[in-house]
Amino acid sequence: MKHKIRTLLAGAFLTALCASAQAESDKPITLVVGYSAGGSADFIARVVAAEMGKRLDRQVIIENVVGASGVLAIQKTLNGPADGSILYMGGTDTVVVPMVNPKVKHDWDRDFAPVGRLTTVPMIFAVPASSPYNTLSELVSGLRKANRDMSYATPGIGTMQHFYGSLITTKTKVPMLHIPYRGGAQIVNDLVGSQVDSAILVLSTAMPFLKNKKIKALSVSDDARVPLLPNVRRIGEEEGFTGVALPLWQGLFVKAGTPAATIATYEKALLEALEQAEVKTKLQESGISTAPMKGQEMRAFIKPQAALYKDIVAAARISLD
């Protein structure tokens, strides 16, 4: 009789455990994004999350946690459980912010486990359509001869646009005056109106103005030429920049300690999602390139980029403190 009771209890326990595991696997996954709804990062997250959800047979819900240059989103993720219930969409800011703000203590390589890279978004160095310069080398040569400063606008100190401008000024040794804006919405309008001499813009923001020939692109930051701008040289093709690339990139992470099997499942779903023609088309039409990488490939990609960011911070003395 006792044996029968024990058997029944064990069976009930296993049934409850399986039911609990099933309920857990049916729960929505939260994808934390550190930027507001409607922006390019949010757009990428929503397109990819929808396709990942189909493959995981689970809903992936976007949660926009805005503030402190993405740090609040990082804190939200790291304060959560390491069970795969929270995905985090990180990027260059995840690596850069601790370099320019000593109060921020997270470490991308220690605190996160990479799931995979999503996309890259090229930045462009742009000038008004009326500018006499058509390439970056022409601009550098012209400024050296004129011996004058030139202004360039970015969305703010410590942004990747600021890094790109700083990379150009430090390597060419041509002085340019950085004009930080509070965000990027007004920059293009001021560039079109020649209120600023030049600007660093993400391609998705600049594309409508490039198509209308209101601005010109002199260089792109990626490691390959942009199909939408085939005649614009990438920065690595310029004299003194051989091998250099500075793309804005986005990837998915989970909190360190998340089970390897869970990470592998998410990685597979992500890579399959990025192969879908509809996903590629939606992103490419917005000037965003799918750039899939497995988790460990993304880690290997980030490490030399992080070293480059560190060099730029030191050379340009960039600080948010």
Percentage of the chain exceeding pLDDT 70: 92
The CB density around residue 122, as the number of other CB atoms within 10 Å, is 30
DSSP string, 214-225: SEEEEEE-SSS-
Tokens of 71: 């740090």
- Tell me the C-alpha distance between 266 and 261, whole Å: 9
Is 116:298 a contact under the CB 8 Å cutoff? yes
What DSSP letter does each residue of 132-186 carry, written as one string?
S--SHHHHHHHHHHHT--EEEEESSTTSHHHHHHHHHHHHHT--EEEEE-SSSTT
For residue 261, count other CB atoms closer than 10 A to its CB.
9
Q: Domains in the chain, ordered, with CATH?
A: 2-120+249-316 (3.40.190.150), 123-237 (3.40.190.10)
113 exposed, middle or buried (CB, 10 Å; 0-12, 13-18, 19+)? buried
Q: Which amino acid is at 199?
A: A
pLDDT in tens, 263-283: 999 999 999 999 999 999 999
Cα separation, 273 vs 236, in Å, equals 30
**pLDDT, tens digit, 9 for 90 and up, residues 212-268:** 999 999 999 998 898 889 999 999 999 999 999 999 999 999 999 999 999 999 999
Q: Which of 24, 226, 253, 25 is nearest to 118 (CA)?
A: 253
Q: How sure is the predictor about 20, in pLDDT bands with cuts at 50, 70 and 90?
A: very low
In whole angstroms, what is the distance from residue 200 CA to residue 217 CA? 9
More confident residue, 162 or 204: 162
CA atoms within 13 A on the CB side of 277: 0
pTM for the full predicted model = 0.85
Average predicted confidence (pLDDT) for the chain: 90
Distance of CA 59 to the CA centre of its chain: 23
Per-residue pLDDT reduced to its tens digit, 115-170: 999 999 889 999 999 999 999 999 999 998 887 779 999 999 999 999 999 999 99
Reported confidence tier of residue 4, pLDDT bands at 50, 70, 90 = low
Percentage of residues of the chain with pLDDT beyond 90: 75
Q: What is the pLDDT of residue 90?
A: 95
